């Protein structure tokens, strides 16, 4: 393994760096997805406005109390000062209460909007086809529903609130400035306009750089996830060190990406800080010239008013400064937000005609008009001129046509890479073919609602993936309503009763991460039982017993056959014991169907592929 | 919460003290320049603005110099702001890096069994979210520290002016601390729960995406939705709860300096009227309070995030202090025949939930005795070069394979290679001489070449030889970029059998003295498997082989068979011998044959049955 982290952008899921949508567009799109969260936003904004008034009113009041109650009179007017202070204090308490209420509402809004987004993104990842899911590492996918969403929520809970308050404060400060002196107010704005224009450019740069940070975080989590899942292999080959260095490189890439944000970020801080000084200076100059009448315009500006106005400039520039600071932080959130939205933008390529879930609303769409459910009773499968190629790859299935009568047992054999698993995935609609069709029970596969399809057509993949719960918990995935007795019976019927009895905690045995507390064979047993409990009419076994011992395998196969009466069974196997007893054997070779028939018919074919495979099988079996 | 949190931040600051101290310097300069700004504006007002108005025309020269001074200070301030912000961020990012590096170090150093117990999602969550939480408060921290200087400065100034106003000052600071303690008390449990839930969300997401195929094929998207949503909603509710607490804390911290000023004004007026204070003094004090309001708020931000610092820090610490370490000896293996011996080896799996990083509701420690008193010797010189381990599913075979490769250490007895205890071997010696091919081939998200070499310097010829022997050469050649084809995460673009053959080539390319195959060809066609085993026997003449297998052809290649059941060796000897004398062994290995015969009889295909009999 190279120690430099690979630069790959093969992901077909959106929201990466190349996307340069504006900040507001992202925010608008993000919030539009969750209209419910925006309910009562006007109340929130009104509270925010009140809270902000407090931020401006209180300093102004304090200034006045000092000026008029203490500095101006010969002897401080104690009762005026106390009264004024009490009033100012009351305003402060009132506006602070508004602030508290506003915070609560904003927190609630932000968290609600984000949880909706998080849930939709999670769901939509599941609605993407296996193929699209496979273009991004698991860890990176996880980052999109965890760290990316967290980035947004972290920002919302602090920066977002500040941004709202600061924007309002700028508005209110402007209003107050205009009341004092419209000309000077205009002067201040003229000083700030170039800064704000420059700022849009700087912010775009910051956003792009934060986008890279998010991507790098995704890769880091992808890399670490790989080293956690592959812990055994890393240790077996003593490459934990090299792998650690690789992860360190990912970590460094994240840090470097973060460091790259600092330059434009500093630039933006410097701009706003300098603008403050410039605006103050210009206001003094303009004010002095205006007030002394040197410009020939009579504006009635006294020295006292000018001094008060200088104080107002600081009330204006402080929120601008803070606002810009928060806007900078917001770019990070926007980058994360965009990656989450990127998931929702990725079209689900294998959709449920019975009503896919619209990621934009979270609602289930109406069923497509031609959606069908599978007919009652046993199901036949017919495949016509089926072709498939992986994106940017050569064709791997070249026009297969197969008839599988209802309740028959079909074995598919062929060398690895001959297209067996691809066929299995197409027949169970894990993927859609490039051309050709699959009919199940006479219905076009891509028109069958998932409710009906997944209930009655089940594929058991080779890996025997189990969830980190108990055996019973895993069996419930097959049939959520199954009782303990049903589960036990299913195990016994599959000939697994003895195995179960030997486990100290029986069905309650925890299986560990990915089922790794069990052996590979045991995992396959449980995943088979899980599918069996689902009680499908068509069951597709993709080398589902490859790691099971021969005696158990034979028992399983016999059990499946016994139980499978009335079911259509498609078995992919290299243990030809299954094939020997199948009603029909299909032999695939490099994506072509080359032989088809019963064991008796095929085994004698001169130069037949099946005959060859069988010879070596018998040799294996009997040597 | 307050002290441990500050302690952690200070430790972090110390770890990147260069940047951090510069950030603090920046923050302090900034504070000084802020005071200077106000002074200069005051001076300009007094010396330029007022006289100009009095004179009825601008005092141009004085105006110009005053204005330039204001702009000059603003530029200096800009530099210090950038310094404070950028360097604080640099400290923070570097701390993320440091702690993430430490975490991956731990992930790399701990033994396999530790990983088997932990949830991948939780460990990922620590990597990202916990580390971030720990140093989230680092960004405003330098400013907050600089604030302390300002507070001290202000307190000294006020103390010289008036004792009553000093009391107000102290009161404000005291209130700040009290409020913070109250806040921490409410916020800490929520923060703890939040980090736990974050890990849980990550855990469910990781597992669910990992098992996406199963979820799809059983149509359980809705079930997964429910599971994920439950945690996501809990995280949201918790976030809202945190927001509520934070929601009153922040405005109060905001209001505190303002209330201070109002009290100062009221008390000050009273003190002045009694002649204890001058107006100028009062204005100065009020002004100090105004100046302090932003720094005090920044202090509030740091304090507000301290609970997360403590919680995140504790979660990270829990991993960093894991003492389980895969240790190695110092010995290298002397040239020798490659004798593998198990001496009274016992192995017990311990599942103690207390060792779980994420914690677990299930609190039963679990012990599974996987291997009992296993003894055997594979000695090429004594004609036992190839040993097969045979037994029913779940009988402990894989554990024996892992013991032989030292992925796990025995709880009793010892495993030796050429007389050297495996635990005495150095890591390099172990990797060079022992290779294990796991049942479930793990393919890295990398090229074919890198998957075989794993970064080692293996020449092209050896590479192809290994692929050839593993029967992988022909399909690798047909891949679009040959050896340099990217295989995708977990080798997603390959079939199960192809993945196994790449994993096998990986082992062969190292020409190990001891090669362990744990059912490593189960997903290959029988003919391919046969070719692989033939190749290995022909090519790997210097290797001792420990093979876990079910197929009779494989087993019959072995010089000796260990028949295991329930973690014990129940019989040991050449295949023929066991086949003749051990009924349960016969039942296991002959299962397919028996099935074929009974099938043939059932279906009346006597002819084929006869063939089979003859072949025997």
CB pair distance less than 8 Å for B589 and A227: no
- For residue B546, pLDDT beyond 90: yes
Dist. CA A120–CA A363, nearest whole Å: 10
390-429 of B, contacting A, C-beta below 8 A: 391-394, 397-398, 402, 405, 407, 427-428
Q: What is the rounded average pLDDT of the residues B110-117?
A: 85
> What's the pLDDT at A5?
39
Dist. CA B365–CA B595, nearest whole Å: 42
> What's the half-sphere exposure (Cβ side, CA atoms, 13 Å) at A572?
29
> Could you read off the pLDDT of B550-563 as tens digits, one per residue?
877 778 788 899 99
> Could you read off the pLDDT of A172-223 as tens digits, one per residue?
899 989 988 898 999 999 999 998 899 888 988 998 999 899 889 989 998 9
Q: Give the closest residue to A319 by CA, choosing from A440, A161, A476, A200.
A: A161
B108 φ/ψ angles, rounded to the nearest 5 degrees: -80, -30
> What's the pLDDT at A279?
93
- For residue A573, pLDDT beyond 70: yes
In terms of domains, do B78 and B131 share one?
yes
Q: Give the closest residue to A430 by CA, choosing from A467, A372, A470, A390.
A: A390
Assess if residue B193 is contained within a domain.
yes
User: Which residue in the set A465, A530, A552 is minimally distant from B210, CB to CB?
Assistant: A465
Least confident stretch, A515-519, A595-599, B7-11: A515-519
Assess if residue B156 is contained within a domain.
yes
Q: What percent of chain B clears pLDDT 70, i.e. is strictly above it?
A: 94
Q: What is the rounded average pLDDT of the residues B504-530?
A: 86
User: Which residue in the set B58, B112, B283 is minimally distant from A66, CB to CB?
Assistant: B283
470-509 of B, contacting A, C-beta below 8 A: 475, 480, 486, 488-490, 492-493, 495-498, 503, 506
Assess if residue B335 is contained within a domain.
no
- Best of B60, B61, B210 to disrupt the A interface (most A CBs within 10 Å) is B210
Assess if residue B265 is contained within a domain.
yes
Residues 6+ apart with CB under 8 A from B160: none
Structure confidence at residue A476 as a pLDDT band (50, 70, 90): very high
146-165 of B, contacting A, C-beta below 8 A: none
- Best of A138, A215, A497 to disrupt the B interface (most B CBs within 10 Å) is A138
Dist. CA B429–CA B442, nearest whole Å: 23
> What's the pLDDT at A8?
46
User: Which residue in the set B79, B209, B528 is minimally distant from A142, CB to CB?
Assistant: B209
> What's the pLDDT at B454?
87
In terms of domains, do B179 and B239 share one?
yes
Give the residue carrying structure tokens 């141009």.
B60
In terms of domains, do B576 and B587 share one?
no
Dist. CA B444–CA B123, nearest whole Å: 19
CB pair distance less than 8 Å for A78 and B595: no
CB pair distance less than 8 Å for B269 and A82: yes
- For residue A21, pLDDT beyond 80: no
> What's the pLDDT at A295?
75
In terms of domains, do B370 and B484 share one?
yes
Where does residue A421 fall: left (phi above 0), alpha (psi -120 to 50 degrees), or beta otherwise?
A: alpha
Q: Is B269 on the interface with A (CB under 8 A)?
A: yes
Structure confidence at residue B389 as a pLDDT band (50, 70, 90): very high
Residues 6+ apart with CB under 8 A from B23: B83, B84, B87, B88, B90, B91, B142
- For residue B352, pLDDT beyond 80: no
Q: Give the closest residue to B288 by CA, choosing from B144, B155, B149.
A: B155
- Best of B137, B489, B594 to disrupt the A interface (most A CBs within 10 Å) is B489
**Residue pair B569/B375 in contact by the 8 Å Cβ criterion:** yes
User: Which residue in the set A59, A81, A125 is minimally distant from B265, CB to CB?
Assistant: A81
CB pair distance less than 8 Å for B219 and A235: no
**Whole domain around residue B117: which residue ranges?**
2-320
In terms of domains, do B424 and B567 share one?
yes
Q: What is the rounded average pLDDT of the residues B195-224?
A: 89
> Could you read off the pLDDT of A434-447 as tens digits, one per residue?
999 999 999 999 99
Q: Which residues pair with B420 in a beta bridge?
A: B417
B contacts of A617 (beta carbons < 8 Å)? 526
B contacts of A110 (beta carbons < 8 Å)? 243
Q: How far apart are the first and last CA of chain A?
A: 40
> What's the pLDDT at B232?
95
Dist. CA B47–CA B61, nearest whole Å: 12
CA angle (A561, A562, A567) in 5-degree steps: 65
Domain count, chain B: 3
Helix (H) or strand (E) holding B599: helix B591-602
58-117 of B, contacting A, C-beta below 8 A: 58, 63, 66-68, 70-75, 77-79, 81-82, 85-86, 89-90, 93-94, 96-97, 100-101, 104-105, 107-109, 111-112, 115-117
- For residue A101, pLDDT beyond 60: yes
Q: Give the closest residue to B322 by CA, choosing from B126, B137, B190.
A: B126
User: Which residue in the set A551, A574, A623 is minimally distant from B524, CB to CB?
Assistant: A574
In terms of domains, do B224 and B118 share one?
yes
Q: What is the rounded average pLDDT of the residues B146-165?
A: 84
User: Which residue in the set B262, B273, B595 is minimally distant from A62, CB to CB?
Assistant: B262
A contacts of B252 (beta carbons < 8 Å)? 96
**Residue pair A426/A386 in contact by the 8 Å Cβ criterion:** yes
Residues 6+ apart with CB under 8 A from B481: B447
Dist. CA A153–CA A147, nearest whole Å: 10
**Residue pair B569/B376 in contact by the 8 Å Cβ criterion:** yes
Q: State the pairing for strand pair B412-417/B340-351.
A: antiparallel
User: Which residue in the set A100, A112, A618 is minimally distant from B248, CB to CB?
Assistant: A100
Q: Is B254 on the interface with A (CB under 8 A)?
A: yes
Complete DSSP assignment for B464-521 = HHHHHHTT-HHHHHTSTTGGG-B--GGGTTS-HHHHHHHHHHHHHTT--SEEEEESTT
Dist. CA A56–CA A341, nearest whole Å: 37
> Could you read off the pLDDT of A402-416 as tens digits, one per residue?
999 998 989 998 887
Closest B-chain CA to A95: B251
**Residue pair B303/B249 in contact by the 8 Å Cβ criterion:** no
Q: What is the mean pLDDT of chain A?
A: 86
CB pair distance less than 8 Å for B101 and A531: no
Q: What percent of chain A clears pLDDT 70, i.e. is strictly above it?
A: 96
Least confident stretch, A52-61, A280-289, A349-358, A595-604: A52-61
Dist. CA A7–CA B93, nearest whole Å: 22
Residues 6+ apart with CB under 8 A from B570: B563, B564, B582, B584
A contacts of B322 (beta carbons < 8 Å)? none
Dist. CA B76–CA A514, nearest whole Å: 58
Chain B closest-CA separation from residue A55 CA (Å): 9
CB pair distance less than 8 Å for B272 and A238: no
In terms of domains, do B531 and B396 share one?
yes
Assess if residue B328 is contained within a domain.
no
> Does domain A23-345 match CATH 1.10.540.10?
no
A contacts of B198 (beta carbons < 8 Å)? 146, 150
CB pair distance less than 8 Å for B236 and A112: yes
CATH number of residue B545's parent domain: 3.40.50.300
- Cα torsion B256, B258, B259, B261: sign: positive
Give the residue carrying structure tokens 């000026």.
A67
From edge to edge, which strands make up the β-sheet containing B412-417? Answer: B366-378, B340-351, B412-417, B420-421
Q: Is B247 on the interface with A (CB under 8 A)?
A: yes
Q: What percent of chain B clears pLDDT 90, i.e. is strictly above it?
A: 29
Dist. CA B410–CA B387, nearest whole Å: 20
CB pair distance less than 8 Å for A519 and B398: yes
Q: What is the rounded average pLDDT of the residues B443-457?
A: 89
- Best of A130, A482, A549 to disrupt the B interface (most B CBs within 10 Å) is A549
Chain A closest-CA separation from residue B474 CA (Å): 11
Assess if residue B356 is contained within a domain.
yes
CB pair distance less than 8 Å for A255 and B94: yes
What is the domain partition of chain A in residue ranges?
A: 23-345, 381-622
Q: Which residues pair with B374 in a beta bridge?
A: B345
Q: Is B39 on the interface with A (CB under 8 A)?
A: no
> What's the pLDDT at A2?
39
A contacts of B498 (beta carbons < 8 Å)? 416-417
Instruction: For residue A570, give the 3-state DSSP assignment.
Output: strand
Chain A closest-CA separation from residue B533 CA (Å): 12
- Cα torsion A170, A176, A178, A180: sign: negative
> Could you read off the pLDDT of B164-192 as tens digits, one per residue?
888 988 898 888 888 888 888 888 889 88
Q: Which two tokens stand for residue B228?
A: 């994920």
CB pair distance less than 8 Å for A534 and B218: yes
- For residue A371, pLDDT beyond 50: yes
Q: Which two tokens stand for residue A390?
A: 């992986």
In terms of domains, do B544 and B611 share one?
no
In terms of domains, do B589 and B573 share one?
no
CB pair distance less than 8 Å for B74 and A620: no
Instruction: For residue B369, give the 3-state DSSP assignment.
Output: strand
Closest A-chain CA to B367: A504
A contacts of B71 (beta carbons < 8 Å)? 274, 277-278, 281
Residues 6+ apart with CB under 8 A from A249: A3, A4, A5
Q: What percent of chain A clears pLDDT 90, i.e. is strictly above it?
A: 29
| Residue at a domain's end among B320, B349, B380 | B320
Q: CA of A148: how far to CAs of A438, B79, B103, B129, B159, in Å?
A: 39, 32, 21, 10, 49
Closest B-chain CA to A255: B93
Chain B closest-CA separation from residue A368 CA (Å): 19
Closest A-chain CA to B224: A123
**Residue pair A191/A278 in contact by the 8 Å Cβ criterion:** yes
Q: Is B284 on the interface with A (CB under 8 A)?
A: no
Assess if residue B334 is contained within a domain.
no
B contacts of A224 (beta carbons < 8 Å)? 104, 107, 123-124, 127
- For residue B594, pLDDT beyond 80: no
Annotation: CATH topology of A381-622: Rossmann fold (3.40.50)
Q: Which two tokens stand for residue A333?
A: 């959130």
In terms of domains, do B195 and B47 share one?
yes
Q: What is the mean pLDDT of chain B?
A: 85
In terms of domains, do B577 and B594 share one?
no
B contacts of A622 (beta carbons < 8 Å)? 552, 593, 612, 615-616
Instruction: For residue B605, give the 3-state DSSP assignment.
Output: coil
User: Which residue in the set B94, B117, B442 is minimally distant from A233, CB to CB?
Assistant: B442
Instruction: For residue A401, give the 3-state DSSP assignment.
Output: strand
Q: What is the rounded average pLDDT of the residues A574-603?
A: 87
In terms of domains, do B434 and B561 share one?
yes
């Amino acid at each position: 393994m190279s120690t430099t982290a690979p630069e790959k952008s093969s992901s077909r899921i959106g929201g990466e760096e190349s996307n340069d949508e504006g900040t507001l567009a992202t925010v608008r799109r993000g919030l539009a997805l969750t209209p419910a969260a925006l309910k009562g936003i006007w109340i929130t904004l009104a509270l925010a406005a009140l809270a902000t008034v407090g931020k401006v009113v209180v300093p102004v009041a304090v200034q006045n109390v000092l000026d008029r109650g203490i500095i101006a009179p010969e002897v401080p007017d104690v009762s005026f000062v106390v009264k004024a202070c009490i009033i100012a204090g009351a305003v402060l308490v009132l506006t602070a209460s508004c602030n508290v209420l506003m915070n609560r509402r904003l927190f609630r809004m932000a968290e609600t909007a984000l949880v909706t987004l998080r849930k939709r993104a999670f769901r939509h990842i599941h609605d993407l086809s296996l193929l699209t899911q496979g273009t991004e590492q698991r860890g990176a996918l996880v980052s999109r529903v965890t760290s990316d969403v967290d980035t947004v929520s972290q920002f919302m809970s602090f920066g977002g609130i500040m941004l709202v308050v600061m924007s309002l404060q700028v508005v209110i400060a402007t209003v107050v400035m205009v009341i004092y002196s419209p000309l000077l107010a205009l002067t201040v704005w003229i000083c700030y306009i170039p800064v704000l224009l420059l700022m849009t450019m700087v912010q775009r740069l910051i956003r792009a750089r934060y986008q890279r940070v998010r991507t790098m975080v995704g890769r880091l989590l992808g890399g670490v996830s790989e080293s956690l899942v592959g812990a055994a292999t890393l240790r077996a080959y003593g490459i934990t060190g090299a792998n650690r260095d690789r992860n360190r490189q990912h970590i460094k890439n994240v840090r470097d990406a973060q460091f790259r944000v600092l330059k434009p970020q500093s630039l933006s801080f410097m701009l706003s800080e300098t603008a403050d000084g410039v605006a103050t200076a210009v206001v003094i100059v303009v004010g002095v010239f205006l007030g002394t009448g040197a410009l020939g315009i009579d504006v009635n500006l006294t020295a006292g008013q000018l001094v008060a106005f200088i104080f107002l400039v600081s009330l204006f520039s402080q929120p601008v400064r803070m606002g810009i600071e928060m806007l900078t932080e917001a770019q990070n959130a926007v980058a994360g937000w965009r990656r989450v939205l990127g998931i929702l933008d990725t079209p689900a390529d294998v959709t449920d005609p019975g009503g896919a879930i619209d990621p934009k609303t979270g609602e289930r769409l109406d069923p497509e008009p031609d959606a069908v459910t599978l007919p009652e009773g046993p199901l036949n499968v017919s495949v016509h001129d089926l072709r498939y190629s992986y994106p940017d790859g050569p064709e791997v299935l070249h026009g297969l046509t197969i008839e599988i009568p209802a309740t028959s047992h079909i074995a598919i054999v062929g060398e690895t890479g001959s297209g067996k698993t691809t066929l299995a995935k197409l027949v169970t609609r894990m993927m859609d073919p490039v051309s050709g069709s699959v009919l199940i029970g006479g219905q076009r596969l891509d028109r069958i609602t998932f409710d009906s399809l997944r209930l009655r057509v089940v594929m058991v993949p080779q890996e025997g993936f189990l969830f980190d719960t108990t055996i019973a918990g895993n069996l419930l995935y097959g049939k959520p309503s199954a009782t303990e007795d049903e589960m036990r019976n299913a195990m016994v019927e599959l000939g697994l009763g003895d195995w179960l009895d030997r486990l100290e905690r029986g069905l309650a045995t925890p299986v560990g991460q990915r089922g790794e507390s069990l052996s590979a064979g045991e995992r396959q047993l449980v995943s088979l039982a899980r599918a069996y409990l689902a009680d499908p009419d068509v069951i597709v076994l993709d080398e589902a017993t490859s790691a099971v011992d021969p005696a158990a395998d034979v028992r399983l196969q016999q059990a499946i056959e016994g139980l499978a009466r009335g079911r259509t069974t498609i078995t992919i196997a290299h243990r030809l014991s299954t094939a020997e007893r199948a009603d029909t054997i299909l032999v695939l070779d490099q994506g072509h169907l080359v032989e088809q028939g019963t064991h008796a018919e095929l085994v004698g074919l001169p130069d037949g592929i099946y005959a060859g495979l069988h010879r070596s099988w018998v040799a294996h079996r009997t040597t | 919460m307050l002290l441990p949190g500050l302690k952690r931040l200070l430790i972090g600051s110390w770890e990147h003290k260069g940047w951090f101290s510069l950030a603090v310097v920046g923050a302090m300069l900034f504070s000084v320049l802020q005071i200077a700004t106000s002074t200069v504006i005051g001076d300009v007002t007094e010396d330029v603005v007022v006289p100009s108005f009095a004179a009825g025309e601008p005092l141009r020269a004085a105006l110009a110099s005053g204005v330039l001074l204001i702009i000059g200070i603003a530029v200096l301030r800009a530099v210090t702001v950038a310094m404070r912000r950028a360097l604080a961020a640099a400290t923070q990012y570097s701390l993320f890096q440091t702690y993430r590096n430490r975490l991956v170090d731990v992930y790399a150093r701990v033994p396999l069994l530790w990983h088997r117990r932990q949830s991948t999602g939780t460990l990922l969550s620590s990597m990202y979210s916990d580390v971030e939480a720990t140093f989230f408060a680092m960004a405003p921290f330098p400013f907050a520290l600089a604030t302390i200087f300002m507070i001290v400065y202000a307190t000294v100034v006020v103390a010289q002016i008036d004792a009553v106003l000093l009391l107000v000052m102290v009161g404000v600071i005291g209130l700040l601390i009290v409020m913070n303690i109250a806040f921490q008390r409410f916020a800490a449990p929520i923060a703890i729960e939040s980090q736990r839930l974050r890990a849980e969300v990550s855990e469910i997401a990781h597992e669910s995406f990992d098992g996406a195929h199963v979820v799809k094929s059983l149509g359980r998207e809705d079930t997964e939705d429910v599971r994920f949503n439950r945690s996501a909603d809990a995280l949201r509710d918790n976030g809202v709860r945190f927001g509520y607490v934070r929601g009153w804390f922040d405005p109060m911290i905001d209001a505190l300096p303002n209330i201070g000023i109002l009290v100062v004004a009221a008390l000050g007026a009273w003190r002045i009227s009694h002649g204890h204070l001058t107006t100028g003094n009062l204005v100065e004090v009020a002004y100090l309070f105004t100046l302090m309001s932003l720094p005090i708020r920044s202090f509030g931000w740091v304090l507000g995030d301290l609970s997360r610092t403590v919680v995140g820090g504790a979660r990270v610490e829990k991993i960093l202090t894991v003492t389980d370490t895969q240790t190695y000896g110092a010995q290298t293996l002397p040239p020798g025949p490659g004798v593998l011996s198990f001496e009274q080896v016992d192995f017990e799996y311990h599942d103690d939930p207390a060792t779980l990083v994420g914690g677990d509701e299930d609190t039963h420690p679990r012990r599974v005795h996987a291997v009992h008193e296993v003894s055997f010797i594979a000695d090429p010189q004594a004609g036992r070069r190839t040993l097969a381990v045979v037994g029913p599913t779940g009988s402990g075979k894989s554990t024996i394979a892992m013991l032989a490769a030292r992925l796990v250490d025995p709880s009793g007895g010892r495993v030796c290679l050429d007389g050297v205890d495996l635990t005495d071997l150095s890591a390099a010696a172990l990797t060079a001489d022992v290779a294990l091919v796991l049942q479930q081939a793990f393919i890295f998200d990398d090229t074919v070449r890198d998957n075989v070499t794993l970064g080692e310097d293996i020449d092209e010829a050896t590479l192809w030889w290994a692929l050839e022997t593993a029967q992988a050469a022909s399909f690798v050649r047909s891949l679009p970029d040959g050896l340099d084809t990217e295989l995708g995460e977990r080798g997603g673009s390959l079939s199960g059998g192809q993945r196994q053959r790449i994993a096998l080539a990986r082992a062969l390319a190292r020409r190990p003295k001891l090669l362990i195959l744990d059912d490593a060809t189960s997903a290959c066609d029988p003919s391919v498997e046969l070719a692989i085993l033939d190749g290995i026997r022909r090519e790997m003449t210097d290797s001792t082989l420990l093979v876990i297998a079910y197929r009779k052809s494989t087993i019959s290649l072995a010089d000796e068979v260990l028949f295991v059941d329930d973690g014990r060796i129940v019989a040991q000897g050449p295949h023929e011998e066991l086949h003749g004398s051990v009924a349960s062994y016969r039942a296991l290995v002959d299962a397919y044959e028996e099935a074929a015969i009974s099938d043939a009889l059932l279906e009346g295909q006597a002819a084929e049955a006869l063939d089979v009999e003859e072949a025997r």
